[in-house]
Amino acid sequence: MDEQATAFSQRFEQLRALRDSGQLPPQQFVAEVQKLHWQDASGAWYMIDPDGRVLRHDGQRWQPFAPTPPPPSAPPPASAPPASAPPASAPPASAPGLELPPGAVTKMQNLVPRALWPILPLIPSLLCGGLWFLYTFIGMFKSEGLGGVDWITPAFVVGLPLLFWLFKKPLDRLLLPLKSPLQAIPKALRLGIALALPVFLGVACTSFSTIGYGGLRISALISVLAAAVLLRY
């Protein structure tokens, strides 16, 4: 089992390095870690959880496993036949505490071609920017004319995330000094700030600019930039 555990531990370290460098999404990291389970000659199942702990299945549930040196064994009697390994069985259910059930992430990812994974985060921006442009475009047929169409706000909402995606690696290097301070803040809190910021900025900006789209554009620009930094890691 030692050789198997070493091989799977090395694979876990590779996956964790890819996740920490931003090359592997957290959901895909969990899905790959769920594949790290093996069975020893006695039929016991082992696995590595997303925290890097080796777990052993005791027949009912997963327990942390700390390997101990085997006791010295006496040579078997000459007449005793060698013990045969028990037949392989299906691996037990994954350890509790994982983010999703075993294989769930992989099944969801299989529904989308791998080439489209990087652009999935852009879909909300495309929808928001497109719907707002359509809303202002409809106003052209009422009384506002062509001047009522807002081109700039959708450009901020759609264009900035697209630029962040295209220049991901240089931006990661630029924002690397902020990685540790940002990761010290719970991600749920950072997400809440990113969602609340457009509301507060919208109220503040519209109180100073009640005509046209100036306040909305400033709010969109600052909100998109702030969300990109807060949720980068």
Overall number of domains in the chain: 2
Residues 159 and 203 in one domain: yes
State yes or no: pLDDT of 226 exceeds 50.
yes
Residues 226 and 119 in one domain: yes
Whole-number Å distance between alpha carbons of 227 and 177: 17
Residues 134 and 181 in one domain: yes
What pLDDT, on the 0 to 100 scale, is given for residue 101?
47
Per DSSP, what are the bridge partners of residue 57?
Answer: 62
What pLDDT, on the 0 to 100 scale, is given for residue 2?
67
Residues 119 and 99 in one domain: no
Provide the H-helix boundaries in 143-186.
152-154, 160-166, 168-175, 179-183
**Domain closes at, from 69, 92, 111:** 111
Name, of 117-126, 128-137, 217-226, the range with top average pLDDT: 217-226
pLDDT in tens, 47-96: 888 888 888 888 888 888 776 545 555 555 555 555 555 555 556 655 54
Whole-number Å distance between alpha carbons of 230 and 182: 7
Name the region of 14 (left: φ>0; alpha: ψ -120 to 50; beta: rest).
alpha
**Domain closes at, from 77, 111, 145:** 111
Angle separating helix axes 187-208 and 214-230, nearest 10 degrees: 170
Whole-number Å distance between alpha carbons of 207 and 67: 65
pLDDT in tens, 163-216: 888 888 888 888 888 888 888 899 899 889 988 988 888 788 777 666 667 777
Name, of 4-8, 112-116, 223-227, the range with top average pLDDT: 223-227
Residues 103 and 154 in one domain: no
- Residue at token pair 């004319």: 145
State yes or no: pLDDT of 158 exceeds 60.
yes
User: H/E/C letters for each residue in 34-100?
Assistant: CCCEEECCCCCEEEECCCCCEEEECCCCEEECCCCCCCCCCCCCCCCCCCCCCCCCCCCCCCCCCCC
Residues 120 and 33 in one domain: no
Residues 61 and 37 in one domain: yes
What pLDDT, on the 0 to 100 scale, is given for residue 24?
86
Residues 225 and 161 in one domain: yes
What pLDDT, on the 0 to 100 scale, is given for residue 84?
55
Compute the mean pLDDT over every residue in the chain, rounded to the nearest whole number. 75
Centroid of chain to Cα 184: 17
**Domain closes at, from 111, 128, 143:** 111
User: Euclidean distance between the first and final Cα of the chain, in Å?
Assistant: 35
What pLDDT, on the 0 to 100 scale, is given for residue 189?
92
What pLDDT, on the 0 to 100 scale, is given for residue 110?
53
Residues 131 and 201 in one domain: yes
State yes or no: pLDDT of 129 exceeds 80.
no
Domain range for 163: 115-230
Q: Which residue has the higher pLDDT, 32 or 38?
A: 32
Q: Which residue has the higher pLDDT, 202 or 113?
A: 202
Residues 122 and 79 in one domain: no
- Residue at token pair 């777990």: 55
